[in-house]
Copies of this chain bind each other. A is one copy, B any other.
């Protein structure tokens, strides 16, 4: 049985492992927390730091193929393992491009992929010379994820909030809709594309509020989104599953925001709403089996369960029974022992007949189900 290692043991690893049990695969996970969400669902859990060269290298030598569930891994170790013949999906070269927002933006430019105009800055002081470029989103080159590492600078008054490290300063987009689309690329270079989804963000936490699938967009916008996502995935020259986040602006232009080279929050709904979920799809790619069917079975809405403000400590879920009384509502709790404000603790997928039905139910779920600390 093929040994496949996953770097990272968070909720994406957890959901990958729930699906792995259907396939002929021996699963390995490395994470530095023995109580992480994925730890107890793999065949072999290895305690180690995914950012440490030696830990990643040693882990890679134990498996036949390697994937990631988070980008912040030691790439030098992956590059060495690849030179020694290990099958790494996504390829370290693709990961290197994506891991650094500066390289990621340069890559879009190089491949004529439309993206918001930007300037690369080395530190906070450099932003002072770019006041006329504001309002802009400042994105930390390395280390940002999950809404962290992004700062909106509306005007000169915000410059004290700017990052003091190499970053991308990206012209603020006049957003009509935020979209995301998943592209699967197998080891032969064949592709499969999922229907795009539409996201609504919480302006305070900069975290996904809820998500509707499929996105309500015109056919010509759909074609642009698909064409951009496919061009992007092919240009990365790597097998894997890629989540491309895009903006549709008020001029009707589609711009790439950013890409993740892995299963993604924007694809959680595919567990219930698609023939082949993003998790199953990645196993098919890793095991060199045929790509799955990305057809949607039902319209869906995804609500993230985020730790409530002011609540820290051992977790409790308020309103769980009420939500489980609703029709066609699926809970996915990530098994994290502690909640804190803004932490992703789970998600709920709702299947429904149309958008009105879904938004109505999503609001009930959001009002009812709260992630709090045990009193």
Which residues of chain A (93-122) have a CB below 8 Å from chain B?
none
- A328-B293 in contact given A21-B41, A23-B333, A333-B24 (Cβ < 8 Å): yes
Interface residues of A in 304-360 (CB under 8 A from B): 317, 320-321, 324-325, 327-328, 330-333, 335, 351
A 275-292 to B, binary, CB cutoff 8 A, 1 in contact else 0: 100000000100001101
Q: Give the residues in chain B near A351, CB-CB below 8 Å.
A: 275
With an 8 Å Cβ cutoff, the count of chain A residues facing the other chain is: 35
Known contacts A41-B41, A42-B40, A317-B24; A290 and B331 CB within 8 A of each other: no
Asked if A324 meets B22 with Cβ closer than 8 Å, knowing A40-B43, A297-B297, the reply is no
In the complex, what residues of B have CB within 8 A of residue A335's CB? Answer: 21
Q: Is the CB of A321 within 8 A of B42?
A: no
A324 and B21 form a contact (CB under 8 A): no
Instruction: Given A41-B41, A275-B328, answer yes or no on A289-B321 (Cβ-Cβ < 8 Å).
Output: yes
Q: Is the CB of A324 within 8 A of B40?
A: no
Asked if A22 and B330 make an inter-chain contact with CB atoms under 8 angstroms apart, the answer reads yes
A91 within 8 A of B: no
A237 within 8 Å of B (CB atoms): no
CA distance A298 to B298 in the complex (A): 11
Contacts of A41 in B (CB 8 A): 17, 21, 40-41
Q: Is A262 an interface residue (CB 8 A)?
A: no
Q: Is the CB of A290 within 8 A of B328?
A: no
Q: Are B289 and A320 in contact (CB under 8 A)?
A: yes
Chain B residues positioned under 8 Å from A289 (CB to CB): 320-321, 324
Set B27, B284, B298, B324: member contacting A284, Cβ < 8 A: B324
Q: How far is the CA of A23 from the CA of B332 in the complex (A)?
A: 7
Q: A275-B328, A327-B275, A328-B275 known; A22 and B284 CB under 8 Å? A: no
22 contacts between A and B (CB under 8 A): A14-B21, A15-B21, A17-B21, A18-B21, A21-B41, A21-B335, A22-B331, A22-B332, A23-B331, A23-B333, A24-B317, A24-B320, A27-B40, A40-B41, A40-B42, A275-B327, A275-B328, A289-B321, A290-B324, A293-B327, A297-B297, A297-B298
Residues of A at the B interface (CB closer than 8 Å) are: 14-15, 17-19, 21-24, 27, 40-43, 275, 284, 289-290, 292-293, 297-298, 317, 320-321, 324-325, 327-328, 330-333, 335, 351
Going nearest first, the 5 A-B pairs with the smallest beta carbon separation are A290-B325, A40-B43, A22-B332, A290-B324, A18-B18
